[in-house]
Structure 1
Amino acid sequence: MTTSEHNRELVRSLYEQFFVHRDLDAVAALIHERFVQHSPDAPSGRDAYVAHLREAAFAGGSSDVKRIIADGDLVAIHHHMRLRDDDGPGLAVVDLWRIEDGRLIEHWDVEQPVPATARVPNGMF
């Protein structure tokens, strides 16, 4: 397995552990202790970030992964996220992760609400 393939599976595992199994101990094991967060709504540091996930509204939500692209130590994931089960159309999200020493060390994200209707027939995904 190449480095890119390994890192792609690491990110896939993060989303499965969080959104499917709700296993925050497994999530914490995937995150580097020196974790750096670039999202304005979440903290840096592994322990602070996992505590944030534990308290976040989307801890009851879901993620439908559309694509994952890996290039060396960087992995981008495009997914349809609902913060809660009753969240309506949810969000289109692209997360970018950097991996170091086999763990997730840095994160950026871009989120956009999914509109109820769209001008284009192919939608956001």
Structure 2
Amino acid sequence: MTDAERNKEIVRGCYEQFFVHRRLDAVADAIHEKFVQHSPDAPSGRDAYLAHLREAAFAGGTCDIKRIIADGDFVAVHHHMTLRDDDGPGLAVVDLWRLEDGKLVEHWDVEQPVPAASRVPNGMF
């Protein structure tokens, strides 16, 4: 298994533990002590980010991974996410993770609401 494949499996495992099993402890083990957040909607720093995830875990939400792409220490995840108390069509999200020592050390994301109607027939996913 290459480093890129291993990194993909680490990231995929985090999504499964968080969104399917709601196991924040398993995700916490994968977050590096030097964690840096670049998303304007989430806090930076390991402890602050874990507190943010804890709040989100209790609120519910779903994640349907469409594709995962890895290049060395970077892993991109394209997924369809619904949020707490969200009855709408959710968000199209691309998360970009950088791993160091087999742990998530840096995160960026781009989020876009899924529209009720689209001008193109192929959709966002």
TM-score (norm 2): 0.95
* 2:70 pairs with 1:67: no
- Counterpart for residue 92 of structure 1: 92
SS at 1:80's partner residue?
Answer: strand
Which residue in 1 is equivalent to 2:19? 19
| Alpha-carbon shift at residue 88 of structure 1 (Å) | 1.4
CA RMSD, 1 decimal? 1.4
Query: Structure 2 vs 1, CA of residues 89 and 57 (structure 1 numbering), >3 Å: closer, same or farther?
Result: farther
Corresponding residue number in structure 2 for 1:121: 121
- Return closer, same or farther for 1:3/1:59 CA change in 2, 3 Å cut-off: farther
Could you give the per-residue CA deviations for residues 14-67 of structure 1, whole angstroms, max 9, x where no partner exists? 100110000001010011011000001111111110101111378400000000
Contact 1:53 1:59 in 2 (8 A): no
List alignment gaps of at least 5 residues for structure 1: none
How high is the sequence identity, in percent, across the aligned residues? 82
Q: CA deviation at 1:87?
A: 2.9
Distance 2:87 2:2 in 1: 38
Question: How many matched pairs?
Answer: 125
Mapped to 1, the partners of 2:49 and 2:60 lie a distance apart of 17
Q: Any conservation in 2 of the 1:58–1:82 contact (CA below 8 Å)?
A: no
Letter in 1 for 2:118: A
Letter in 1 for 2:30: L
What TM-score do you get using the length of structure 1 for normalisation?
0.95
Q: Residues of 2 paired with 1:46 and 1:85: CA distance?
A: 26
Partner residue, 1:46: 46
Structure 2 gap segments, 5+ residues each: none
- Going from structure 1 to structure 2, the CA distance change for 1:12 and 1:29 (only over 3 Å counts) comes to same
Q: Distance in 2 between matches of 1:72 and 1:17?
A: 23
Distance 1:124 1:22, change over 3 A: same
